[in-house]
């Protein structure tokens, strides 16, 4: 009997707590989720929204990716807390550094994926994480990148020029009603990267509340084109339930599957 896949659904996967070690001496906490009994077709390294406003490795799109995509799309999902960021998994050492020291965090995640021999590594940045992706993610070990709600706040024209020069695939998923950068302006800004693909998502907002399934479909479409789409919305096999109440005391909507009272939507940047 098919069971609907809900926000709390955890599909089969091999999940392990991991630690990343940065070149400047910090230990970052994270998790690696992989398919059971087979090699992954690709790997997602997730870079979360702004930690000073609630972003973390458990921000809802990344949590759902880790709980679903190993089973639904044969993808490995590596997510972690950047320096000074806390979640249920724990707190990474260090302190938020305005996208400066975080260069070492991105490098440590890519290095971990290399040493673990994870294949076809793609960076998936969300909001602040898109700036980290653009600034520090154009690495020889990275196949391409997907940007969710890119504000282009910390990144500079030189960062876009680097991606243009390297020619690596770059896709920006831009909500129709984003608080910072909407599709038409995004197309103008990303024109500096000839291979960049800007996908406007009708009706969506910066936090992707209610649109996580669309985001996951678009990610899988690029990282594992062999996977059938849209991804299944039901599951016939074993399934467990995660604790989505772990952040019930937070008032930042980026953690919610439905809007909650709290700061305006820009809190997740």
Residue 70 has pLDDT above 80, yes or no: yes
pLDDT digits (tens, 9 = 90+) for 81-107: 999 999 999 999 999 999 999 999 999
Region 35-54 average pLDDT:
96
Residue 248 has pLDDT above 90, yes or no: no
> Which CATH superfamily is 3-268 part of?
Alpha/Beta hydrolase fold, catalytic domain (3.40.50.1820)
Tally Cβ neighbours within 10 Å of residue 118. Answer: 20
Q: Where are the domains of the chain?
A: 3-268
Region 123-136 average pLDDT:
98
Give pLDDT, residue 197.
98
Tell me the sheet residues that pair with 15. 33
Residue 28 has pLDDT above 50, yes or no: yes
pLDDT digits (tens, 9 = 90+) for 210-239: 999 999 999 999 999 999 999 999 999 999
Give pLDDT, residue 244.
81
Please, what is the average pLDDT of the chain?
A: 92
Give pLDDT, residue 1.
72
Residue 249 has pLDDT above 70, yes or no: no
Half-sphere exposure of 89 (CA within 13 A, CB side): 23
Structure tokens at 130: 């898109």
How many Å apart are CA 101 and CA 247, to the nearest integer?
27
Strand segments (E) across 22-128: 27-34, 42-47, 75-80, 86-87, 90-91, 121-126
Residue 72 near residue 213, CB atoms below 8 Å:
no
Strand segments (E) across 39-140: 42-47, 75-80, 86-87, 90-91, 121-126
Residue 171 has pLDDT above 80, yes or no: yes
Give pLDDT, residue 246.
72
């Amino acid at each position: 009997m098919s069971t609907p896949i809900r926000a709390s659904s955890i599909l089969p996967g091999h999940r392990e707590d991991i630690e990343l070690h940065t070149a400047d001496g910090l230990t970052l906490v994270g998790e690696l989720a992989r398919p059971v009994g087979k090699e992954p077709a690709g790997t997602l390294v997730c870079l979360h929204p702004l930690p000073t406003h609630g972003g973390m490795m458990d921000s809802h799109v990344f949590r759902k990716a880790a709980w679903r995509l190993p089973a639904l799309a044969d993808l490995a999902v590596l997510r972690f807390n950047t320096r000074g960021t806390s979640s249920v998994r724990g707190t990474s050492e260090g302190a938020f550094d305005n996208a400066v020291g975080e260069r070492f965090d991105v490098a440590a995640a890519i290095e971990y994926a290399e040493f673990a021999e994870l294949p076809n590594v793609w960076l998936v940045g969300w909001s602040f994480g898109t700036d980290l992706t653009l600034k520090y993610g154009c690495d020889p070990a990275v196949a391409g990148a997907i940007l969710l709600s890119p504000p282009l706040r910390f990144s500079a024209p030189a960062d876009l020029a680097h991606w243009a020069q390297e020619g690596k695939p770059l896709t920006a998923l831009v909500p129709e009603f984003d608080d910072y950068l909407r599709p038409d302006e995004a197309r103008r800004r990303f024109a500096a990267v000839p291979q960049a693909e800007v996908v406007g998502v009708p009706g969506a907002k910066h936090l992707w509340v209610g649109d996580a399934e669309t985001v996951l479909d678009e990610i899988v479409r690029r990282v594992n084109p062999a996977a059938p789409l849209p991804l299944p919305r039901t599951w016939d096999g074993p399934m467990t339930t995660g604790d989505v109440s772990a952040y019930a005391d937070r008032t930042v909507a980026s953690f919610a599957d439905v809007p909650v009272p709290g700061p305006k939507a820009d809190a997740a940047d």
